[in-house]
Structure 1
Amino acid sequence: MKFQMQEVGFNIDLEYGNLSVSGNSDYGFRPFQLLIASIAGCSGGVLRAILEKKRINYKDIEIDAEVEREEQEPKRIKKIALTFTISGEDLNEEILEKSVKVAMKNCSMAQSVKDSIEIIEQIKIKPSQC
Protein backbone atom coordinates (compact mmCIF):
# COMPACT_ATOMS: atom_id res chain seq x y z
CA MET A 1 0.00 0.00 0.00
CA LYS A 2 1.36 3.37 -0.98
CA PHE A 3 -0.01 6.55 0.59
CA GLN A 4 0.63 9.84 -1.16
CA MET A 5 0.94 13.02 0.91
CA GLN A 6 -1.58 15.76 0.14
CA GLU A 7 -1.85 19.27 1.54
CA VAL A 8 -4.07 18.15 4.43
CA GLY A 9 -3.54 14.41 4.71
CA PHE A 10 -2.76 11.33 2.67
CA ASN A 11 -4.48 9.56 -0.22
CA ILE A 12 -4.35 6.05 -1.53
CA ASP A 13 -5.97 4.61 -4.64
CA LEU A 14 -7.51 1.23 -3.96
CA GLU A 15 -9.44 -1.18 -6.15
CA TYR A 16 -12.74 0.25 -4.85
CA GLY A 17 -11.78 3.90 -5.06
CA ASN A 18 -9.73 6.66 -3.52
CA LEU A 19 -9.31 6.84 0.25
CA SER A 20 -8.40 10.17 1.86
CA VAL A 21 -7.07 10.12 5.41
CA SER A 22 -6.68 13.31 7.44
CA GLY A 23 -6.68 14.43 11.04
CA ASN A 24 -9.28 16.97 9.91
CA SER A 25 -12.64 15.39 9.05
CA ASP A 26 -13.27 18.13 6.46
CA TYR A 27 -10.62 16.50 4.24
CA GLY A 28 -10.95 12.78 4.77
CA PHE A 29 -11.56 9.93 7.13
CA ARG A 30 -9.93 10.41 10.49
CA PRO A 31 -7.48 7.64 11.42
CA PHE A 32 -9.48 6.57 14.49
CA GLN A 33 -12.62 6.20 12.33
CA LEU A 34 -10.77 3.84 10.01
CA LEU A 35 -9.50 1.79 12.95
CA ILE A 36 -13.00 1.43 14.39
CA ALA A 37 -14.46 0.67 10.95
CA SER A 38 -11.81 -2.01 10.43
CA ILE A 39 -12.65 -3.73 13.71
CA ALA A 40 -16.42 -3.48 13.20
CA GLY A 41 -16.27 -4.55 9.56
CA CYS A 42 -13.92 -7.45 10.24
CA SER A 43 -15.83 -8.80 13.23
CA GLY A 44 -19.15 -8.35 11.42
CA GLY A 45 -17.87 -10.20 8.37
CA VAL A 46 -16.59 -13.08 10.49
CA LEU A 47 -19.89 -13.18 12.42
CA ARG A 48 -21.83 -13.32 9.17
CA ALA A 49 -19.74 -16.28 7.98
CA ILE A 50 -20.25 -18.08 11.31
CA LEU A 51 -24.02 -17.58 11.24
CA GLU A 52 -24.20 -18.84 7.67
CA LYS A 53 -22.03 -21.86 8.47
CA LYS A 54 -24.30 -22.67 11.42
CA ARG A 55 -27.29 -22.18 9.10
CA ILE A 56 -28.81 -19.60 11.39
CA ASN A 57 -31.53 -17.78 9.52
CA TYR A 58 -31.14 -14.04 10.11
CA LYS A 59 -32.24 -11.05 8.08
CA ASP A 60 -29.76 -8.32 8.97
CA ILE A 61 -26.83 -7.35 11.19
CA GLU A 62 -26.20 -3.80 12.35
CA ILE A 63 -23.13 -2.85 14.37
CA ASP A 64 -23.03 0.16 16.67
CA ALA A 65 -19.58 1.15 17.90
CA GLU A 66 -19.12 3.43 20.90
CA VAL A 67 -15.59 4.66 21.44
CA GLU A 68 -13.95 5.84 24.63
CA ARG A 69 -10.77 7.86 24.22
CA GLU A 70 -8.23 9.32 26.63
CA GLU A 71 -8.85 12.96 27.55
CA GLN A 72 -5.21 13.96 27.11
CA GLU A 73 -3.33 14.04 23.82
CA PRO A 74 -2.75 11.86 21.89
CA LYS A 75 -6.31 10.81 22.86
CA ARG A 76 -5.57 7.10 22.64
CA ILE A 77 -8.56 4.80 22.14
CA LYS A 78 -9.16 3.06 25.46
CA LYS A 79 -12.31 1.09 24.80
CA ILE A 80 -14.61 0.09 21.97
CA ALA A 81 -18.09 -1.19 22.78
CA LEU A 82 -19.63 -3.06 19.86
CA THR A 83 -23.34 -3.80 19.85
CA PHE A 84 -24.41 -6.34 17.24
CA THR A 85 -28.13 -5.99 16.48
CA ILE A 86 -29.25 -9.11 14.69
CA SER A 87 -32.65 -9.18 13.00
CA GLY A 88 -34.59 -12.34 12.39
CA GLU A 89 -37.22 -14.70 13.69
CA ASP A 90 -36.71 -17.39 16.31
CA LEU A 91 -33.11 -16.39 17.04
CA ASN A 92 -31.41 -18.09 19.98
CA GLU A 93 -29.66 -15.50 22.17
CA GLU A 94 -27.18 -18.00 23.66
CA ILE A 95 -26.08 -19.24 20.24
CA LEU A 96 -25.71 -15.67 18.98
CA GLU A 97 -23.63 -14.66 22.01
CA LYS A 98 -21.31 -17.63 21.48
CA SER A 99 -21.09 -16.81 17.77
CA VAL A 100 -20.06 -13.21 18.55
CA LYS A 101 -17.35 -14.46 20.94
CA VAL A 102 -16.00 -16.80 18.24
CA ALA A 103 -16.15 -13.99 15.67
CA MET A 104 -14.10 -11.69 17.90
CA LYS A 105 -11.50 -14.42 18.45
CA ASN A 106 -11.21 -14.87 14.69
CA CYS A 107 -11.26 -11.21 13.65
CA SER A 108 -7.68 -10.31 12.77
CA MET A 109 -8.29 -6.61 13.39
CA ALA A 110 -9.67 -7.16 16.91
CA GLN A 111 -6.87 -9.59 17.71
CA SER A 112 -4.29 -7.07 16.53
CA VAL A 113 -5.34 -4.51 19.15
CA LYS A 114 -6.66 -6.73 21.96
CA ASP A 115 -3.71 -6.05 24.28
CA SER A 116 -3.98 -2.27 23.96
CA ILE A 117 -7.68 -1.52 23.48
CA GLU A 118 -10.49 -3.03 25.53
CA ILE A 119 -13.18 -4.39 23.22
CA ILE A 120 -16.51 -5.39 24.66
CA GLU A 121 -19.36 -6.81 22.68
CA GLN A 122 -23.03 -7.36 23.23
CA ILE A 123 -25.92 -8.51 21.11
CA LYS A 124 -29.46 -7.32 20.66
CA ILE A 125 -32.09 -9.34 18.90
CA LYS A 126 -34.58 -7.47 16.76
CA PRO A 127 -37.60 -9.32 15.37
CA SER A 128 -37.88 -9.06 11.58
CA GLN A 129 -40.48 -6.78 10.12
CA CYS A 130 -42.80 -8.57 7.68
Structure 2
Amino acid sequence: MKFEMTENGFETETSFGTLQISANDEFGFRPYQLLVSSIAVCSGGVMRKILERKRMPADHIAIEVKEVVRNEEIANRVEKIHLHFIIDGKMIEDEKMAKIIEVTEKNCSMFQSVKDSIQVVSTYEFSQ
Protein backbone atom coordinates (compact mmCIF):
# COMPACT_ATOMS: atom_id res chain seq x y z
CA MET A 1 0.00 0.00 0.00
CA LYS A 2 1.09 3.52 -0.70
CA PHE A 3 -0.47 6.56 0.98
CA GLU A 4 -0.37 9.96 -0.67
CA MET A 5 -0.89 13.24 1.16
CA THR A 6 -3.98 15.23 0.15
CA GLU A 7 -5.21 18.66 1.20
CA ASN A 8 -7.18 17.10 4.09
CA GLY A 9 -5.33 13.91 4.99
CA PHE A 10 -4.07 10.91 3.06
CA GLU A 11 -5.46 8.49 0.49
CA THR A 12 -4.60 5.14 -1.00
CA GLU A 13 -5.90 3.27 -4.00
CA THR A 14 -7.35 -0.17 -3.37
CA SER A 15 -8.96 -2.68 -5.66
CA PHE A 16 -12.31 -1.34 -4.39
CA GLY A 17 -11.52 2.32 -4.96
CA THR A 18 -9.90 5.20 -3.15
CA LEU A 19 -9.69 5.08 0.64
CA GLN A 20 -9.72 8.57 2.16
CA ILE A 21 -8.18 8.94 5.63
CA SER A 22 -8.31 12.17 7.61
CA ALA A 23 -8.31 13.44 11.18
CA ASN A 24 -11.47 15.32 10.13
CA ASP A 25 -14.68 13.26 9.75
CA GLU A 26 -15.76 15.44 6.84
CA PHE A 27 -12.92 14.26 4.62
CA GLY A 28 -12.47 10.57 5.31
CA PHE A 29 -12.22 7.77 7.81
CA ARG A 30 -10.41 8.67 10.99
CA PRO A 31 -7.41 6.43 11.77
CA TYR A 32 -8.94 5.13 15.01
CA GLN A 33 -12.12 4.16 13.10
CA LEU A 34 -10.02 2.02 10.77
CA LEU A 35 -8.26 0.41 13.74
CA VAL A 36 -11.55 -0.43 15.46
CA SER A 37 -13.10 -1.61 12.17
CA SER A 38 -10.16 -3.93 11.52
CA ILE A 39 -10.50 -5.60 14.91
CA ALA A 40 -14.31 -5.86 14.69
CA VAL A 41 -14.53 -7.22 11.16
CA CYS A 42 -11.59 -9.61 11.58
CA SER A 43 -13.25 -11.00 14.72
CA GLY A 44 -16.61 -11.32 12.96
CA GLY A 45 -15.07 -13.16 10.01
CA VAL A 46 -13.19 -15.58 12.26
CA MET A 47 -16.32 -16.16 14.37
CA ARG A 48 -18.32 -16.93 11.24
CA LYS A 49 -15.76 -19.57 10.14
CA ILE A 50 -15.65 -21.15 13.60
CA LEU A 51 -19.45 -21.39 13.75
CA GLU A 52 -19.48 -23.02 10.30
CA ARG A 53 -16.82 -25.55 11.34
CA LYS A 54 -18.82 -26.39 14.47
CA ARG A 55 -21.86 -26.99 12.24
CA MET A 56 -23.70 -24.06 13.81
CA PRO A 57 -23.75 -21.62 10.91
CA ALA A 58 -24.77 -18.02 11.48
CA ASP A 59 -27.47 -16.69 9.19
CA HIS A 60 -26.32 -13.17 10.07
CA ILE A 61 -23.79 -11.48 12.34
CA ALA A 62 -23.88 -7.78 13.18
CA ILE A 63 -21.12 -6.19 15.24
CA GLU A 64 -21.90 -3.15 17.31
CA VAL A 65 -19.03 -1.17 18.78
CA LYS A 66 -20.53 -0.31 22.15
CA GLU A 67 -17.56 1.61 23.51
CA VAL A 68 -14.18 2.98 22.50
CA VAL A 69 -12.15 4.40 25.37
CA ARG A 70 -9.37 6.78 24.41
CA ASN A 71 -6.76 8.34 26.68
CA GLU A 72 -6.44 12.05 25.86
CA GLU A 73 -3.34 12.35 28.05
CA ILE A 74 -1.42 9.83 25.94
CA ALA A 75 -1.95 11.00 22.32
CA ASN A 76 -5.64 10.00 22.45
CA ARG A 77 -4.52 6.38 22.54
CA VAL A 78 -7.18 3.68 22.15
CA GLU A 79 -7.24 1.74 25.42
CA LYS A 80 -10.47 -0.24 25.28
CA ILE A 81 -12.90 -1.48 22.63
CA HIS A 82 -16.18 -3.22 23.44
CA LEU A 83 -17.46 -5.37 20.57
CA HIS A 84 -21.02 -6.69 20.83
CA PHE A 85 -21.93 -9.48 18.42
CA ILE A 86 -25.59 -9.83 17.46
CA ILE A 87 -25.91 -13.31 16.02
CA ASP A 88 -28.77 -14.91 14.13
CA GLY A 89 -28.56 -18.68 13.79
CA LYS A 90 -31.06 -21.36 14.67
CA MET A 91 -28.47 -24.02 15.50
CA ILE A 92 -26.08 -21.95 17.63
CA GLU A 93 -25.83 -23.22 21.19
CA ASP A 94 -25.57 -20.53 23.87
CA GLU A 95 -23.47 -22.72 26.18
CA LYS A 96 -20.74 -22.96 23.51
CA MET A 97 -20.45 -19.22 22.85
CA ALA A 98 -17.85 -18.47 25.56
CA LYS A 99 -15.47 -20.97 23.96
CA ILE A 100 -16.31 -19.70 20.46
CA ILE A 101 -15.42 -16.14 21.52
CA GLU A 102 -12.19 -17.40 23.10
CA VAL A 103 -11.20 -19.24 19.90
CA THR A 104 -12.24 -16.22 17.82
CA GLU A 105 -9.91 -13.96 19.78
CA LYS A 106 -7.09 -16.49 19.58
CA ASN A 107 -7.37 -16.76 15.78
CA CYS A 108 -8.11 -13.14 14.80
CA SER A 109 -4.84 -11.58 13.61
CA MET A 110 -6.02 -8.04 14.37
CA PHE A 111 -7.05 -8.97 17.93
CA GLN A 112 -3.73 -10.72 18.47
CA SER A 113 -1.86 -7.66 17.15
CA VAL A 114 -3.31 -5.39 19.86
CA LYS A 115 -4.12 -7.76 22.74
CA ASP A 116 -1.25 -6.54 24.94
CA SER A 117 -2.01 -2.86 24.43
CA ILE A 118 -5.78 -2.51 23.94
CA GLN A 119 -8.41 -4.18 26.11
CA VAL A 120 -10.97 -5.78 23.79
CA VAL A 121 -14.21 -6.88 25.42
CA SER A 122 -16.48 -9.21 23.45
CA THR A 123 -20.13 -9.77 24.33
CA TYR A 124 -22.97 -11.30 22.34
CA GLU A 125 -26.67 -11.79 22.05
CA PHE A 126 -28.90 -13.79 19.76
CA SER A 127 -31.27 -11.88 17.48
CA GLN A 128 -33.68 -14.75 16.93
TM-score range with shorter-chain normalisation? over 0.9
Could you say which residue in structure 2 is the equivalent of 1:123?
A: 124
What amino acid maps onto 2:70 in structure 1? Answer: R
**Fraction of identical pairs, as percent:** 47
Misfit runs of 4+, over 3 Å: none
Q: CA RMSD in A?
A: 1.2
Matched, 1:72 2:73: yes
* Mapping of residues 54-93 of structure 1, within 5 Å: 54-65=54-65, 66-72=67-73, 74-93=75-94
1:16 correspondence with 2:16: yes
Superposition deviation, residue 85 in structure 1: 1.0
- The answer to which of 34-43 and 62-71 deviates more is 62-71
Matches within 5 A, 1:33-112: 33-65=33-65, 66-72=67-73, 74-112=75-113
Deviation digits for residues 65-90 of structure 1, max 9, x if unmatched?
12111133521111001111111225
The whole-number CA distance in structure 2 between the counterparts of 1:26 and 1:84 is: 28
Normalization by structure 2: what TM-score? 0.93
Unaligned runs of 5+ in 2: none
Q: Which runs of 5 or more structure 1 residues have no equivalent in the other structure?
A: none
